[in-house]
Amino acid sequence: DQLPPGFPTIDMGPQLKVVERTRTATMLCAASGNPDPDISWFKDFLPVNTSNNNGRIKQLRS
C-alpha cells in the first residue's frame, strides 16, 4: 500500500502514561506531512484544551 504524496504520518506516537497527582509528565508526539499536520491531545477520550488551562499544560512545537 502506498500513501499519496504529503499524506500525514505519525513519526513518534505518544505512550500511555500513569502519573501521580502533582507530578510532571512529558508526552511526546511527532508527525509529518504536507501541509504540516495538527496534533490534538485527549484525556479520558475528551479533547484537552491547551490554550485555556491556567498554565497547567504547555504545548511546545518544534
How would you write the pLDDT of the chain (62 residues) with one tens digit per residue?
A: 688 888 898 888 878 888 898 888 888 888 999 998 888 888 889 998 877 777 778 777 76
Q: What is the pLDDT of residue 50?
A: 77
Q: What is the pLDDT of residue 22?
A: 87
Number of domains, the chain: 1
| Structural domain of 47 | 1-14+28-53
Q: Is residue 59 part of a domain?
A: no
Q: Is residue 3 part of a domain?
A: yes
Instruction: Tell me how far CA of residue 52 lies from CA of 33, 34, 48, 57, in angstroms.
Output: 27, 28, 10, 9
Q: What is the pLDDT of residue 46?
A: 92
State the DSSP string of 10-60: EEE--------TT-------EEE-SSPPP---EETTEE--SSSSTTS----
Q: What is the pLDDT of residue 12?
A: 87
* Residue appearing with cell numbers 511546545: 60
pTM of the model: 0.63
